[in-house]
Amino acid sequence: MNAPIIDPLQGDFPEVIEEYLEHGVMKCISFNRRGTLLAAGCSDGNCVIWDFETRGIAKELRDKDCIAAITSVSWSKYGHRILVSSADKSLTLWDVVSGERISRTTLQQTPLQARLHPGSSTPSLCLACPLSSAPMIVDLNTGSTTVLPVLIPDTSNGLVPQSRNKFSDGAPPYTPTAACFNKYGDLVYVGNSKGEILIIDYGTIQVRAMVPVTGGAVVKNIVFSRSGEYLLTNSNDRTIRIYENLLPLKDGLRALDDLDKTANELDGVEKLKAIGSKCLTLFREFQDSITKMHWKAPCFSGDGEWVIGGSASKGEHKIYIWDRAGHLVKILEGPKEALIDLAWHPVHPIVVSVSLTGLVYIWAKDYTENWSAFAPDFKELEENEEYVEREDEFDLVPETEKVKESDVNEDDEVDIVTVEKDSAFSDSDMSQEELCFLPAIPSPDIPEQQDKCIESSSKLVDSNHSGSPLSDDAGPNGRTTNHASSPLEDNSAAEDAVARKRKRKPSEKGLELQAEKETLKDDTFV
Amino acid sequence: MTTEPNESFRPYTLTQTLTGHKRPISAVKFSSNGRLLASSSADKTLRTYCLSNSDPTLSPLQEFQGHEQGVSDLAFSSDSRFLVSASDDKTLRLWDVQTGSLIKTLTGHTNYAFCVKFNPQSNIIVSGSFDETVRVWDVKSAKCLKVLPAHSDPVTSVDFNRDGSLIVSSSYDGLCRIWDAGTGHCMKTLIDDENPPVSFVKFSPNGKYLLVGTLDNTLRLWNYSTGKFLKTYTGHMNSKYCISSTFSVTNGKYIVSGSEDNCLYLWDLQTRKIVQKLEGHTDTVVSVSCHPSENMIASGSLGNDKTVKIWTQTKD
């Protein structure tokens, strides 16, 4: 997105539902690094990869062995691999381009969340958070698991023993513990049931630092921003907390070693706390003091400027958007279906939410037509301006028209070849090519369909142009249902699995706003 | 930076003439892997030619039949596997390059489809038409994703920028408009004091500049962010047809264009001087294309000529 004329997208947030995607019952979603592909895990064990630009299905990853619901989806750094965790206790690693399964590991417990190591392009390690035991690092090649400590024992000798219970048989049940990698994957941050954030070096299975969360409530989610500068925790006390990461992004371990040396006179828990205070500082807290709602799937925007959290109440689909300073800027309300997953697009001000019914809603900005883009010599005025004529305005031959000199020096050098780096992605240590798109192979027409005139304006349900500014008089609109679906080449999906995109019937308030817009639209030019 | 371009510039000479089309040629394009050349014609067909590695001659490969009326434009996908063509029969057709078979027909335009392009990721096709709209299509399903109310006159040319995020369209109404490919919103309109019909527009290789051809015998290089043009190239004739032009960057930076005086013109990009005038066609040269890596230019000409000519630089 090099073009300087595209509006700066930082600092914007979505406002309305633009579209929804439907394919089976989707449970969890994840964008690839650039937001060009959206992977969605379904309840039937399949993983669908959507091409986000065309809003069509780019690939389906089907596994005959896996028919249980997918619990989480995770991309590798450059988009070549996807890790899928499923309710049948398995972790499956896929190669995206070929659609082939690389490996499948079965755990003792259902992993609720699994994240591929974010530092490498072909990761073999992943972090899995099982349903009721401590998070573990799984080596996908060998299948071996390394359980991470979740509690700091009260011993004063500073040693952290291995977690007592590898598998919870006969031992006190753990509540699911949240964990995540830091940006480059050298450390794991764990949020435990005592309301502490533990910074763990998984190589040595040692807790290196501890940060107590105010209030000590169970930590349900822990997430880093894309830049790695901010950390977010979602606790049982209905508060989302933002921490600033004080450790350097790369080489976090070495910084911890340095901090270790400075805190040498302390011991055990005190030492870990002291180091912890140098790793994270509390920045902000977000809560809804009126409704005191529990939050679900909170995350940062792509640039870290905004924080979103979904309401965990059943029966409503609400997304709260705060700016990083803590101000609530918007509440997005969707149809009355519980929200189960949420993701912000890495680059654009687009939010994608998954509802309990399995639909994926795409929220985008409500676009108001920029008329000066169509007619540059028109200036849009906010209020009346007093116009003062030029001296020669009414002259027969105005002075200013006689001489028209080009103020451009045509001899200047013009460089048509050099490309500027995309500033939105500062990670330019790209040794491998990033996978941004899956090749689009057009599915062939059935011969008798070639004469058929495909009507393109069939399914414009009710009156809904929220966010689609161009569809009225121009007639045919692309978002239709293609009833006569031609056989899909590489997707062996049945007819009913063809992705259909339709506009949702807006809420009453939405219809009100539509009516307003309709009257405005009559004056528009086409 | 060449101060005396004529010294280091090696002239192009005609090395091959390809016949076969029975009516005027409308477009010629090299594939991005440099191994294929495709041409479209008013005789309703497309033809592909392949370039062998050994010697720089092209041999005819396939003929693509299926359009019901003449074809105005064509484009290769980035992996050179597919061709899309725009025709007066109001459709766009997707062809498989290897087999020569028709894969899909994209209907929707309500008047002649005039220009077409794949985006760099080749999952989207953009087309411009005499129905004054620009349409964005999904390759996989052939569905029309967006209809842009682009202009008030036939749309003569469309192009994507380097990363596929912008679409530029030009029209006889004298305007060039830039659109956000993802949302379909108009980002900018380029106008000048006079608005001669724009016959052609193309992004520079780095996506920062636009090469704009207008029907007043002028080619201009615009910086679309500032909305001002930086270079003007004249000397050729272009007042009737939509003649395509292109950048030649394989051996020095040049602008290449066809002309209505039956010649091809090459200008030095920076100095704007004509460095060569290639003669040989017997009718208007309506389309030119530069090979992505070799110093080779392909040109196609109208009714009196009906040939595709290949020009290469003389070896030292």
| pLDDT bracket for residue A354 (50, 70, 90) | very high
What is the C-alpha separation between B286 and B309, in angstroms, rounded? Answer: 12
Which has more confidence, A52 or A3? A52
Tell me, what's the pLDDT at A401? Answer: 54
- Quote the pLDDT of residue A132: 79
* Strand B296-301, strand B308-313: pairing: antiparallel
Nearest-CA neighbor of B286 among B314, B249, B261, B311? Answer: B261
- Amino acid identity of residue A243, one-letter, is Y
Q: Check residue B274 and give its pLDDT.
A: 93
Interface contact flag, A454 B221, Cβ < 8 Å: no
Spatial CA neighbour of A203 closest among A242, A119, A146: A146
Query: B208 contacts in A (CB within 8 Å)?
Result: 2, 415-416
CA distance between the termini of chain B: 21
The top-scoring range by mean pLDDT among A121-130, A445-454, A493-502, B172-181 is B172-181
CA distance B131 to B113: 8
Higher pLDDT, A31 or A510: A31
Q: Which residue of A has its CA nearest to B123?
A: A440
Find, among B142, B84, B92, B94, the residue nearest to B112 by Cα: B92
CB of B38 within 8 A of CB of B76? yes
Q: Is the pLDDT of residue B136 over 90?
A: yes
Measured CA to CA in angstroms, residue A100 lies from A82, A92, A155, B269 at distances of 11, 11, 48, 48
Q: What is the pLDDT of residue A399?
A: 63
Measured distance CA(B165)–CA(B151) in Å, rounded: 20
Compute the distance between CA of residue A383 and CA of residue B141 in angstroms, rounded to an integer: 47
- pLDDT of A402 > 60? The answer is no
Confidence label for A441 from pLDDT (cuts 50, 70 and 90): confident
In this structure, what token pair is assigned to residue A145?
Answer: 């698991």
Do B260 and B301 form a contact (C-beta atoms < 8 A)? no
Whether B6 has a pLDDT exceeding 50, the answer reads no
Are A189 and A183 in contact by the 8 Å Cβ rule? The answer is no
pLDDT at A506: 47
How far does the CA of residue A217 sit from the closest CA of chain B (Å)?
43
Residue B236 has phi, psi (to 5 degrees) of -100, 180
What residues in B contact A479, CB-CB < 8 Å?
Answer: 145
User: For A185-216, what is each residue's pLDDT tens digit?
Assistant: 888 999 888 888 888 888 888 888 888 888 88
Q: Which range, of A36-50, A72-86, A385-399, B192-206, averages the lowest pLDDT?
A: A385-399
Q: Kindly indicate the confidence band of residue A466, based on its pLDDT and cuts at 50, 70 and 90.
A: very low
Min mean pLDDT across A108-117, A268-277, B17-26 is at: A268-277
E-strand stretches of B77-227? 82-87, 92-96, 102-106, 113-118, 124-129, 134-138, 144-148, 155-160, 166-171, 176-180, 186-190, 198-203, 209-214, 218-223
User: Residues 6 or more apart from A55 whose CB is under 8 A from it?
Assistant: A19, A21, A362, A479, A499, A501, B145
CA-CA distance, A49 to B293, in Å (whole number)? 35
Torsion A491-A493-A496-A501 (CA) sign = negative
How many degrees, rounded to 5, is the angle at CA A504 between CA A498 and CA A509?
A: 170
A1 CB neighbours in chain B (<8 A) are: 163, 165
**Is the alpha carbon torsion for B94, B97, B100, B101 positive or negative?**
negative
Instruction: Tell if the pTM clears 0.80, that is, is over it.
Output: no
**B138-191 pLDDT per residue, tens:** 998 888 999 999 999 999 999 999 889 999 999 999 999 999 998 888 988 988
Q: Which residues does residue B134 pair with via DSSP β-bridges, in sequence order?
A: B128, B148
DSSP B250: B
Eight-class DSSP state of A479:
-
pLDDT at A514: 56
Give the span between the Cα atoms of B146 and A48, in whole angstroms. 24
Task: Give the CA distances from residue A69 to residues A85, A101, A147, A469, in Å, rounded to whole numbers and listed in that order.
Answer: 9, 17, 24, 37
Per-residue pLDDT tens digits for B42-96: 999 999 999 887 777 888 998 999 999 999 999 999 999 999 999 999 999 999 9
Distance CA A60, CA A54 (A): 16
CA distance A58 to A42: 15
Q: Report whether pLDDT(A450) > 70.
A: no
Instruction: Specify the pLDDT at position B63.
Output: 92
A444 and B104: CB-CB below 8 Å?
yes
Cβ separation of B105 and A445 shorter than 8 Å?
yes
Rounded mean pLDDT, A10-29: 85
pLDDT for A353 equals 93
Tell me how far apart the alpha carbons of residues B24 and B301 are, in angstroms, rounded to a whole number.
7
The closest CB to that of B225, out of A5, A369, A473, belongs to A5
Mean pLDDT of B265-281: 92
Decide: helix, strand or coil at residue A515.
Answer: helix
Question: Which one of B147, B180, B187 would you mutate to disrupt binding with A, by most A Cβ within 10 Å of its Cβ?
Answer: B147
Considering only residues B152 and A409, tell me which one the structure prediction assigns the higher pLDDT: B152
**Cβ <8 Å between B249 and A416:** yes
* Cβ separation B178–A5 shorter than 8 A: yes
Q: List CB contacts of A123: < 8 A, sequence separation 6 or more.
A: A76, A77, A81, A116, A117, A140, A185
Which SS3 state, helix, strand or coil, does residue A258 take? Answer: helix
Q: Please state, in angstroms and rounded to a whole number, the distance separating the CA atoms of residues B142 and B164.
A: 18
Mutate to test the interface with A, among B80, B102, B140, B248 (most CBs of A within 10 A): B140
- Shortest Cα distance, chain A CAs vs residue B316, angstroms: 26
Q: Two tokens at B22? A: 């029975």
Taking 70 as the threshold, does the pLDDT of residue A220 lie above it? yes
The CA distance from A28 to the nearest CA of chain B, in Å, is 24
Q: For residues A246 and A230, give the distance between their C-alpha atoms in angstroms, rounded to a whole number.
A: 9
Region B229-233: mean pLDDT is: 90
Instruction: Tell me which amino acid residue A394 is.
Output: F
- What is the arithmetic mean of pLDDT over A327-333? 88
Where b means 16+ CB within 10 Å and e means fewer, A343-376 reads bbbbbbbbbbbbbeebbbbbbbbebeeeeebbee
Q: Read off the pLDDT band of A439 (50, 70, 90).
A: confident
pLDDT average, residue stretch A85-94:
91
Q: Counting beta carbons within 10 angstroms of the beta carbon of residue A431, is it exposed (0 to 12), middle (13 to 18) or buried (19 or more)?
A: exposed
Contact present, B50 and B61 (Cβ < 8 Å): yes
Would you state the pLDDT for residue A387?
84
Asked whether residue A455 carries a pLDDT value surpassing 80, the answer given is no
Q: B17 and B309 in contact (C-beta within 8 Å)? A: yes
pLDDT value at position A168? 41
pLDDT band at A447 (very low <50, low <70, confident <90, very high): low
Per-residue pLDDT reduced to its tens digit, A102-128: 888 888 888 889 999 988 888 889 999
CA atoms within 13 A on the CB side of A215: 14
Least Cα separation, residue A5 to chain B (angstroms): 6
Angstrom distance (rounded) from CA B81 to CA B64: 14
Contact residues on chain B for A440, CB-CB shorter than 8 A: 121-123, 138-140
Q: Look at phi and psi of residue A268 and say left if phi exceeds 0, alpha if psi is from -120 to 50, else beta.
A: left
Where is pLDDT greater, at A439 or B249? B249
Q: Which residue has the higher pLDDT, B61 or A455?
A: B61
Q: Quick one: which H or E segment has residue A400?
A: helix A399-402
Measured between CA atoms, the residue of chain B closest to residue A450 is B105
The burial class, CB within 10 Å (0-12 / 13-18 / 19+), for A108 is: middle
Quote the mean pLDDT of chain A: 76
Which of A34, A53, A457, A500 should one mutate to test binding to chain B, selecting the residue with the greatest count of B CBs within 10 A?
A: A53
- Candidate from B121, B140, B178 with C-beta closest to A442: B140
Q: Across the strands, what pairs with B258?
A: B264
Residue B77 pairs in a beta bridge with none
For residues A168 and A121, the answer to whether their CB atoms sit within 8 Å is no
| Sheet with B102-106, side-by-side order of all strands | B71-76, B82-87, B92-96, B102-106
Contacts of A362 in chain B (CB under 8 A): none
Contact criterion met (CB below 8 Å) for B27 and B74: yes
Quick one: pLDDT at residue A471? 35
- Burial label for B14, CB within 10 Å (0-12, 13-18, 19+), is middle
Q: A525: distance to nearest CA of chain B, Å?
A: 9
The residues, any chain, with a CB within 8 Å of residue A368's CB and separated by 6 or more, are none
Report the SS3 class of residue B6: helix
Q: What count of Cα atoms within 13 Å lies in the side-chain half-sphere of residue B257?
A: 32
Rg of the Cα atoms in chain A: 27
Tell me what percent of the residues of chain A surpass a pLDDT of 70.
73
More confident: A176 or B239: B239
Nearest Cα of chain B lies from the Cα of A6 at a distance, in angstroms, of 7
Maximum alpha-carbon separation in chain B = 52
